[in-house]
Amino acid sequence: MAPIKTAQDRHATLVHLPATTAAPAMETAMPPIWKETLWPLEWLALRLSSVYFGLGIPRGDGSPVVLVPGFMGTDAYLLELYLWLKRTGYSPYMSGIGINAECPARLTDRLVRTAERARAETGRPLRIIGHSLGGIIGRRACVQRPDLFSQLVCLGSPVQGVHPHPAINAAVSLLRLAARALAFDPADCLSGRCACDFLSRVIEPLPASVSRAAIYTRNDGLVDWHDSLEADSNLNYEVGGTHIGLVYNPQAYRAVAVLLAEAAASERLAA
């Protein structure tokens, strides 16, 4: 997939950053987590932007796109993105995984079942847009069933490693304790000691048939933005705003529109 180089060339303001580039000293600390409460400003900016109405962006080709929520989230908060994709010419699907707060391997299996249904209904391979942990689950699904997918776009997903805000670590610990008390999951679920093969499979290279891209923000208050970078700098696209707001951010929406269209064009040329 050709990289997006300038706003004039691709109607998007995106910055490529090499994954190996060291951050300045002032950027070693994560932004204050309270800034994540500013995400409604991004939702408002989206509603006031031309991209919200599908203006100045490539029109979709009807491809099926499945949306995957982040940690502790459900499909419900992705409704804005779902409706926008539908308005701009795509066939969106919700993940159907329920709450993203249990064994990620089990969640991946649910996502694959949704993908199988969408593939049967549309007759076309799916594109995945995953927010945060949803991008990691989407990646695992692409590795597990590459026949179902053609593209993966991650929004603030820790593709290089997981160094979240301490508040997220605390939430994971509490979730693990609750899961153990309810006998819902093994004691080591959601940890590096988990006996399932989720962690080992998710780090496997994606097949060449699945294109990928990472959209991130340096103002991410929940995930270290360095972790959200692909090793290939041409696959990294920077926008402003918060981690939560990536699913409402008009810059991110513009980037998604261009990335989906570029991938579709590349697939037509290869056909």
* Domain ranges (residues) in the chain: 57-266
Q: Which two tokens stand for residue 256?
A: 């998604």
d(CA 39, CA 144): 33
| Spatial contact of 105 and 196, defined as CB atoms under 8 Å apart | yes
Question: Where is average pLDDT lowest: 119-133, 145-159, 172-186, 189-203?
Answer: 172-186
At 34-73, the pLDDT tens digits run: 899 999 999 999 999 999 999 999 999 999 999 999 988 9
Residue 57 region by backbone torsions, left for phi larger than 0, else alpha for psi between -120 and 50, else beta: beta
At 195-238, the pLDDT tens digits run: 566 666 667 788 899 999 999 999 999 988 998 999 899 999 99
Fold of 57-266: Rossmann fold (3.40.50)
What residues does 151 pair with on adjacent strands?
A: 127, 211
| Spatial contact of 237 and 14, defined as CB atoms under 8 Å apart | yes
The pTM of the full predicted model, rounded to 2 decimals, is 0.82
Closest C-alpha among 254, 264, 270, 268 to residue 57: 254
Residue with tokens 């701009």: 88
